[in-house]
Amino acid sequence: MRKTLLVVLALIVAAMSFADMQLKNIIIVPKPSELEVKVWLNKPEGSVYQVNESLNIFFKANKSCYILIYDIRTDGKITLLFPNKYDSNNYIAPNVTYKLPISNLYSFKITPPEGKEYIQIIASTTFLPIIQQLKNLGTTQSFPLLSEDAENYVQKQIMPYLTGEWASDITYFYVGKAARTGIAQLESNPSGAYVYVDGKYIGRTPARVELDEGQHFATFYYENDAVTETFFVTANRTVVVTGNFVRKTMLNITTTPPRAQIFLDGNYVGLSPLEIEIQPGQHTVLATKDGYKPFQQSFSVSTGETKNINLTLSPISAQLNVFTTPSGASIYVDGKYVGITRPSGLNVDVEPGTHTITARLSNYEDATLTINVQPDEVRTVNITLSPVVRTGTLNIFTTPVNASIYVDGKYVGVASSNGLTIDVEAGTHRIVASYPDYEDASINVRVNANEVRTVNLTLEPVVKVGTVNINTTPSNAMVYINGYLKGVTPLKIELDYGTYQLVLLKGGYYVEVMDLKVNKQNVTVSTTLRIIQ
């Protein structure tokens, strides 16, 4: 039978008590996050355990993670409980409740003296160095004492190494008898802050919690700010604890267009967009930008308010009078369509500066020019468009030579040994070459304007086929053509034009061997086989 190890959670009431220590420096308080971990005991939180009574620790998390659990004693000493040399696997599955002890090699028993003790759990989705360090320590020693100075150990050995996604939770119990209790009313300004008391999540303000008499601390989270307040609970009384978030008075300025120079009450503060802290009250903002008219606006802002202001600047415009030869062209300024030129031109308002003007007209090449206009300038712009060259050249060669050439179904000539040169419209064309006793050859060719394109077409000879009828008396003679069995008589097959060796074979008859000439569409071979005497 295995020997059971008894682990004592010593609750030593020393000269130094939690009232004398800074709890906020000992108890780890997490920030609200997606990772959640919970720890609890086999009795409700704050319950009384008697001497020699068994204590079990339960825990779970909503994600797979690594776990550390340690005991914070009344005298400020910290003892590692998990992982340990008996239960070393501290990587847990999500939403599964675990119980310590896991194995039957040890148990937790309560011993005197009376007092209050904390059990803290830390969870991390990554295997942090501090987890590795404590796991190595806990699995080589039996529930090692981590430190006799809880404040120093937590602040210097644990907190700096909690990175990435982590969370924590804490619970407590009493030995012998419970302390007297009072009420803490938790408020925040503004309300709705997340609040933790002694490292345990309570809810969102306003909230109310019963606590034992003595020192406590509350940590409030609101948006990206955190406030911690230390307070003292007196038995049978209510203490109000308020987390005050000093909200800055902010000015958020955007402009259209952006990167305008911003002056606040006559002082330059930067380029838009920008966000700055300002004093509550009345202010004047001025935005300036080259090529735009200055814009000024007055406003007032309250304490803690974030004032959003968008300033739209009007450009200092110039004017273009655009004429094209011929007229009727579509005009694009900096790639944007602005209209069609008439004989009287086209008037376009533009910002001062450099612009690219493009004129487009069907059957004409695009024409583009770049100009620079000054504020309030009126500029006349003349653009002449050149007709589009729409023809290309085809040089067509054929094998064999002298094939007749058709382009898009129209006969255009014969491709001699020097080829056939023709001009065609730019675009895709179908070219067909034709020659007696050869299969037609064709190709689709795309020709660009002013392009000279060489095309080579090879025609394949036409293969002529004749039908051969082979009959014998008697029938059922095997027919071999050039040594290959083709069937038995009567037999009808197709053969390419040419000369073949025909062999007729039948048991009891002499073999017939003859030349077979196929030079027309229908050829008939009839023979009487001779009986072997």
In a domain, 533, yes or no: no
CA distance 502 to 482: 7
Beta strands across the sheet bearing 306-312: 274-277, 250-256, 306-312
Grouping H, G, I as helix, E, B as strand and the rest as coil, residue 228 is strand
Provide the residue type at 26 as one letter: I
In a domain, 17, yes or no: yes
Q: Would the pLDDT of 459 be above 70?
A: yes
Query: Cis omega before residue 352 (within 30°)?
Result: no
Query: E strand or H helix at 473, and its extent?
Result: strand 465-473
* 121 close to 106: Cβ distance less than 8 angstroms: no
Answer yes or no: do 484 and 406 share one domain: no
Q: Would the pLDDT of 221 be above 50?
A: yes
DSSP characters over 79-107: EEEES-SSS---EE-TT--EEES-SSSEE
Answer yes or no: do 96 and 190 share one domain: no
Answer yes or no: do 256 and 133 share one domain: no
CA distance 187 to 238: 13
Of the candidate ranges 114-118, 264-268, 354-358, 380-384, the one whose mean pLDDT is the lowest: 114-118
Start-to-end CA span in the chain (Å):
110
* 486 close to 470: Cβ distance less than 8 angstroms: no
Among 294, 312, 330, residue at a domain's last position: 312
Per-residue pLDDT, 508: 92
Provide the residue type at 311 as one letter: L
What is the domain extent for residue 440? Answer: 391-458
Beta strand pairing call for 330-333 and 353-360: antiparallel
Query: Cis omega before residue 144 (within 30°)?
Result: no
Domain harbouring 195, CATH code: 2.60.40.10
Total tally of structural domains belonging to the chain: 6
Answer yes or no: do 433 and 397 share one domain: yes
Answer yes or no: do 262 and 332 share one domain: no
Mean pLDDT to the nearest integer, 362-376: 89
Burial pattern 261-278, b for ≥16 Cβ within 10 A else e, equals bbbbeeeebeebeeeeeb
Q: Please write the tens of the pLDDT for every residue from 387-417.
A: 877 889 999 999 999 999 999 999 999 999 9
Burial (CB < 10 A; 0-12, 13-18, 19+), residue 163, is: exposed
In a domain, 98, yes or no: yes
In a domain, 276, yes or no: yes
* 445 close to 463: Cβ distance less than 8 angstroms: no
Q: Would the pLDDT of 16 be above 80?
A: no
Answer yes or no: do 70 and 152 share one domain: yes
Answer yes or no: do 18 and 163 share one domain: yes
399 bridge partner residues: 458
Q: DSSP secondary-structure letter at 402?
A: S
Structure-block tokens of residue 141: 């020693």
Reported as a pLDDT band with limits 50, 70 and 90, residue 293 is confident
Among 384, 409, 428, residue at a domain's last position: 384
CA distance 123 to 37: 7
Per-residue pLDDT, 376: 80
Cα distances (angstroms) measured from residue 410 to each of 58, 145, 252, 399: 93, 102, 73, 20
In a domain, 515, yes or no: yes
CA distance 41 to 170: 11
| Residue written as token pair 């655009």 | 322
* 358 close to 383: Cβ distance less than 8 angstroms: no
Reported as a pLDDT band with limits 50, 70 and 90, residue 177 is confident
Reported as a pLDDT band with limits 50, 70 and 90, residue 156 is confident
Q: DSSP secondary-structure letter at 154?
A: I
Answer yes or no: do 101 and 73 share one domain: yes
Q: Would the pLDDT of 430 be above 50?
A: yes
Per-residue pLDDT, 111: 75
Among 144, 175, 206, residue at a domain's last position: 175
Domain harbouring 517, CATH code: 2.60.40.1120
Q: Would the pLDDT of 8 be above 60?
A: no
Reported as a pLDDT band with limits 50, 70 and 90, residue 21 is low
Grouping H, G, I as helix, E, B as strand and the rest as coil, residue 14 is coil
Answer yes or no: do 305 and 430 share one domain: no
